[in-house]
Amino acid sequence: MILGSANDMADDTQAQAPAADDEVLEAPVRGSADELLDAGAQAPIDAMRHSTAHVMAEAVLALFPDARLGIGPAVENGFYYDFDLPRPLTPDDLAAIEARMAESVRADHPFVRREVGFDAGRATEAEAGQAFKVEILDDLARKAADTGEPMPPVTFYEHGPFRDLCKGPHVASTGKIGPFRLLSVAGAYWRGDEKRPMLQRIYGTVWETQEQLDQYLWRREEAKKRDHRRLGRELDLFSFHDVSPGSAFWHPKGQRLWRTLETAIREVQDRREYTEVSTPMVVSQRLWEASGHWALYKENMFLIESEGQTFSLKPMNCPESTIIYKTHLRSYRDLPLRLSEFGRLHRNERSGTLSGLTRVRQFIQDDGHIYVRPDQLADEIAALLGEVDEVYGWFGLRPELKFGTKPDKALGDPALWDRAEALIREALDRAGLPWTLKPKDGAFYAPKIDIHIEDALGRSWQTATIQVDLTMLPERFDLTYIDEAGQAVRPMAIHRAIYGSLERFIGILVEHFGGAFPLWLAPVQAVVIPIADRHAPAARELAAELRAAGVRFVEVDDSDSRMQNKIRLAQGQKVPYMLILGDREVEARSAAVRKRGAGKNDPQEVLPWSELAWRLGEEIREKRLG
């Protein structure tokens, strides 16, 4: 069971995971009034971004005098401000707000800081009908009362007609605000609490120079072009349909990606002495009661009634792994016992959270459960980090490790936690890979290492996980092995996934490569292009020779299109190699090799078939990135 794997793993990164259009907009830090007041304005650019939020609030208030203000911090690439408004905003409204903002910038109002006594500050907001601001102040007051500290003074920032409760800092005047653009409107719960009112959040971006703004908008457009949902359609990899929301239909070419990845990780797992298992997808409620899922995860499970019994589609593999463990009495000599499983999982995610391949209801996980003696744990973790390093190297992805330690709510003996954390730390250091600490971010039953990767656009995604389970599987399922002294002893369990969810991983790879997969991974590795019909038989011969050499996915374009059109099509499908055959090549049993992305003036090789087959075969075997 990979708790927190695949979807869950992903879930942890939702805040960082960008929207499809590459928007990286972070939610405000949730919690205390202090944090709500912190505008996120640390760097100078942030001060300008936060100042732009003030100017936007001024514009909104001018258009909607009854608007109530939430908060408006700077975020990565821009800012937002939350408003309670009498009606939903339209794109026209955004244009009107932008126009108002431009006026305020032109007027060059100075930002003026005012400090007033708490009561006066509260009265000011109360008179203005700004209930959310009053709430923030009341929270501050309550906190001061609780800690016995004196009531803090309240600061306002004013510019022109606008005044806002704010810690600052700000730029000197509105004229210092650079080129900006309002981007979108979204719903956002007040203080991030779904029980509180939903406000309208306007996102915007602002930069020092027009060039920077243009560059940013260009990057958003580029990101859209490599959106895996778009490329999935254009490259005919997969599709989604309303008959099964949140579950991909894998087309032949997408399935080839899946197969290639599966074959590759199996090779690693065989080498590392995993044994592969497969467990049922439909599982009785009784098992989930034993594992604790019924109490804590039932909402996310698809249930099936049959003959008076309740079953569920498995959302995780872990409990069933223990059933296989328990089919034998295990000896200390059997450990580590590495059980791998390509489990097909179903999780009934809330409808609004689904998104392409990155947040789905059905996915396949390259799951693994490793049962170890305590003395084997450190070595095993080190080996798993080695797996991650090797596998991510195939794609040119640099794994970023995050070490999550004991959370406040945790099961098991604290001494065991300390020990497990020390072992993880040791293993991380031994691996020599950079890692960061995320205190209290462990699972409730175990500390963990989550693996994040950055795609080509620098966006961070969580994919893999390594979790050290001292309690849950071993205790709940009463796992034991017989030690040297003949005593029954508890093993430790490691939950791990390297790709995580294949769906998500493929989605990330599509975006990472922009659809231009390296040869070893490409669903169409080469297209043989006969110039005229008379070259088609030779083209088919070449294709067969390539397949025999391990280039599995070769196509022959023997349509009656002209060569130019065939090249254009193959280029659009991002096929790594176009092999062109005319009279000269057929005569010499060679092919003109046009590589993906080659321009008019790039030199082009003409290679004999045998050499071509050998070269491409080598490129595949070495998983060369090209």
Partner RNA sequence: GCCGACAUAGCUCAGCGGUAGAGCAGCUGUUUCGUAAACAGCAGGUCCUCGGUUCAAAUCCGAGUGUCGGCUCCA
Provide the annotated active-site residues. Answer: 318, 347, 365, 367, 369, 448, 495
Give the residue, chosen from 320, 421, 469, 585, that forms a contact with RNA under the rule CB under 7 A. 585
Yes or no: say if 41 and 74 are a contact pair by the CB < 8 Å rule.
yes
Q: Does 354 bind RNA (CB under 7 A)?
A: yes
Map residues 308-347 to x or -, x wherever contact with RNA holds by CB under 7 A: --------x-------------------------------
Q: Does 88 bind RNA (CB under 7 A)?
A: yes
Q: Does 206 bind RNA (CB under 7 A)?
A: no
Q: Does 216 bind RNA (CB under 7 A)?
A: no
Q: Does 534 bind RNA (CB under 7 A)?
A: yes
Report residue 129 CA to chain centroid gap: 40
Give the residue, chosen from 594, 607, 612, 613, that forms a contact with RNA under the rule CB under 7 A. 594
Q: How far apart are CA 185 and CA 200, in angstroms?
A: 7
**How many angstroms separate the Cα of 392 from the Cα of each of 8, 209, 248, 400, 463?**
20, 37, 24, 10, 11
Closer to RNA by Cβ: residue 147 or 351? 351
What type of residue sits at position 576? P
Secondary structure letter of residue 7 according to DSSP:
H
Quote the least distance from Cβ 481 to RNA, whole Å.
Answer: 24
User: With b meaning 16 or more CB within 10 Å and e meaning fewer, what string describes 213-250?
Assistant: beebeeebeebeebbbbbbbeebebbebeeeeebbbeb
Backbone torsions φ then ψ of 310, nearest 5 degrees: -105, 130
Quote the least distance from Cβ 68 to RNA, whole Å.
Answer: 15
With CB under 7 A as the contact rule, which of the stretches 63-71, 377-385, 503-511, 580-588 interacts with RNA? 580-588
Quote the least distance from Cβ 469 to RNA, whole Å.
Answer: 11
Listing DSSP states for 580-602 in one string gives EE-HHHHHHTEEEEEETT--TTS
Q: How far apart are CA 572 and CA 234, in angstroms?
A: 9
Quote the least distance from Cβ 121 to RNA, whole Å.
Answer: 27
Q: How far apart are CA 619 and CA 616, in angstroms?
A: 5
Q: Does 571 bind RNA (CB under 7 A)?
A: yes
Q: Does 30 bind RNA (CB under 7 A)?
A: yes
Map residues 45-84 to x or -, x wherever contact with RNA holds by CB under 7 A: ----------------------------------------
Map residues 101-140 to x or -, x wherever contact with RNA holds by CB under 7 A: ----------------------------------------
Q: Does 477 bind RNA (CB under 7 A)?
A: no
With CB under 7 A as the contact rule, which of the stretches 24-32, 133-141, 261-269, 305-313 interacts with RNA? 24-32
Cβ neighbours of 371 (radius 10 Å) = 25
Closer to RNA by Cβ: residue 549 or 575? 575
Q: How far apart are CA 35 and CA 136, in angstroms?
A: 10
Q: Does 200 bind RNA (CB under 7 A)?
A: yes
Q: Is the peptide bond before 336 cis (omega within 30 degrees of 0)?
A: yes
Q: Is the peptide bond before 491 cis (omega within 30 degrees of 0)?
A: no
Give the residue, chosen from 128, 592, 614, 625, that forms a contact with RNA under the rule CB under 7 A. 592
